[in-house]
Structure 1
Amino acid sequence: MDAHFLGIPELTEAPSVAVVVDVMRAFTVAAWVFAQGAEKIVLAESLDDALALKAAHPDWMALKDGPPAPGFDMVNSPGMLRSADLRGRTVVQKTTAGTVGALAVREASLVLCAGFVVAEATARLLRTRASDSVTFVVTGEDGQADEDLACAQYIARRATEAATDPAEFLHRAAESRAATELASGRRQGAHPDDVALCLELDRFPFAMTASQEDSLMVVRPHAVPPLTGDAPV
């Protein structure tokens, strides 16, 4: 597998297969949203679009970065979401980096949204697709966020080498600027457990696929059964 690691500004054309990585916190949150029972996540282009989608669908819930705000039901924090009852709900998500990255590659034939919490399932799905070339979109800090790059590199390695040790990659993420800012309380709308929750390797057994449904970019959980013998393709 030929892996490419690009920041959002470096995306000049739609890749065939894209893995969009946002560890802290968009796609860790997305995984928790599904774990709490949500049916789907709709990615919004802007905060105004998120509110408009919710207004058009009063039973949907809206989620954003930062502190609570009028019209939004939740913030982008796994620690705050883990007790929410989202059974059967649709959640509209708008974040600074993760949702932007996924929308930027909406024309790809396969779009996966990922963080450490779904790393193994994501790697397994890549193995089953046996893609020649995969573009990993490192969403944070214009492609420089080490927690996202570390996760992307781990998934890429895990897709081809079954015995990959995650320790180095998790350590880099734990020492990243985003982790430091979250742990120190410098980011609003955060919970003290957010960093630890973002670094829970393979917490969930599903991958997350994003695709266009009508005019919307929709994320859904994707069950990925273990491969026999766990051998890479």
Structure 2
Amino acid sequence: MDAHFLGIPELVETPSVAVVVDVMRAYTVAAWAFAQGAEKIVLAESLDEALALKARHPDWVALKDGPHAPGFDAVNSPGLLRSVDLTGRTVVQKTTAGTVGALAVKEASLVLCAGFVVAEATAGLLRTRGCDGVTFVVTGEDGRADEDLACAQYIAARASGAATDATDATGFLRRAGASRAAAELTQGVRQGVHPDDVALCLELDRFPFAMVATSEDALMVLRPYPAPAPTDGDRATA
């Protein structure tokens, strides 16, 4: 598989297949939202759009980065979201980097959103689709966030059929745990944080689904996609 790793500012053309990676915390939060029963997640262009969607659909759950704010129901924290019952609900998500990255590649034929918690399911879907060329969008720090790059590189290795098991993932997870984002979350530099957020973002393959974003009624909508069953080739390299 031909993998390219680009920051959002480097996206000069629309890729065919894109994997948008935001480990800390957008797509860890999205995965937890689905685990808590959410039906779909609408990726908002701006805070104003998120609030407008919430105003039109009062039963939707709006969340954002940072501290709690009027009009929003939740913040972008897996530790805080994991206790919220979202059964059958629609979530509107707006974050600093993750949602921006997905909207930047919305014209791609396949858009996946990922973190370590859905790494193997994401890689499995890429293998099943036979994707020869994949652009990994490293959303944090204009493409320099090591937690996102490490996750992207791990998924790329798994998607290529490399013999990368959970033990081999240790180095990638260590890099993420030593990242600037992890330090800022741990030290309280960022707001709207739960003490367990970093640990939850580093849970490898916590959930058995990938997350696919598609255009629905002019909105970018994220939905869970069940992990494909492993093939004999996958078992041989696992």
TM-score strictly above 0.5:
yes
Give the alignment partner of residue 226 of structure 2, picking from 210, 223, 227.
Answer: 223
- What SS does structure 1 have at the residue aligned with 2:34? helix
Instruction: Give me the TM-score of the superposition, normalised by structure 2.
Output: 0.96
Alignment of 1:161-200 (within 5 A): 161-164=161-164, 165-200=168-203
Q: Give 1:161 deviation, angstroms.
A: 2.9
- The range that moved more, 90-99 or 52-61, is 52-61
Structure 2 alignment gaps of length 5 or more = none
Cα RMSD of the aligned pairs, angstroms, is 0.9
* Alpha-carbon separation, structure 2, partners of 1:191 and 1:224: 28
Equivalent residue, structure 1, for 2:157: 157
Q: Give 1:132 deviation, angstroms.
A: 1.3
- The range that moved more, 222-231 or 101-110, is 222-231
Q: Does 2:103 match 1:103?
A: yes
- What SS does structure 1 have at the residue aligned with 2:190? coil
8 Å CA contact retained: 2:128, 2:228: no
Alignment of 1:85-104 (within 5 A): 85-104=85-104
Deviation readout 1:165-221 (Å, 9 max, x if unpaired)? 101100000000000110111110000000000000000000000000011000000
* Alpha-carbon separation, structure 2, partners of 1:163 and 1:38: 33
Q: Does 2:27 match 1:24?
A: no
* Alpha-carbon separation, structure 1, partners of 2:160 and 2:5: 16
Q: Give 1:228 deviation, angstroms.
A: 2.5
Alignment of 1:105-124 (within 5 A): 105-124=105-124
Q: Give 1:162 deviation, angstroms.
A: 4.3
- What SS does structure 1 have at the residue aligned with 2:52? helix
Q: Give 1:225 deviation, angstroms.
A: 2.7
* Alpha-carbon separation, structure 2, partners of 1:188 and 1:205: 29
Equivalent residue, structure 1, for 2:37: 37
Instruction: Give me the TM-score of the superposition, normalised by structure 1.
Output: 0.98
Q: Give 1:112 deviation, angstroms.
A: 0.1
Deviation readout 1:100-128 (Å, 9 max, x if unpaired)? 00000000000000000000000000000
- What SS does structure 2 have at the residue aligned with 1:113? strand
- What SS does structure 2 have at the residue aligned with 1:15? coil
Deviation readout 1:124-174 (Å, 9 max, x if unpaired)? 000001111000000000000000000000000011134211011000000
* Alpha-carbon separation, structure 1, partners of 2:131 and 2:163: 20
Q: Does 2:131 match 1:128?
A: no
Equivalent residue, structure 2, for 1:54: 54
The percentage of counterpart residues that share the same residue type is 81
Deviation readout 1:11-51 (Å, 9 max, x if unpaired)? 01110000000000000000000000000000000000000
Deviation readout 1:26-81 (Å, 9 max, x if unpaired)? 00000000000000000000000000001011111100000000000000000000
Structure 1 alignment gaps of length 5 or more = none
Q: Give 1:222 deviation, angstroms.
A: 0.2
Aligned length: 232
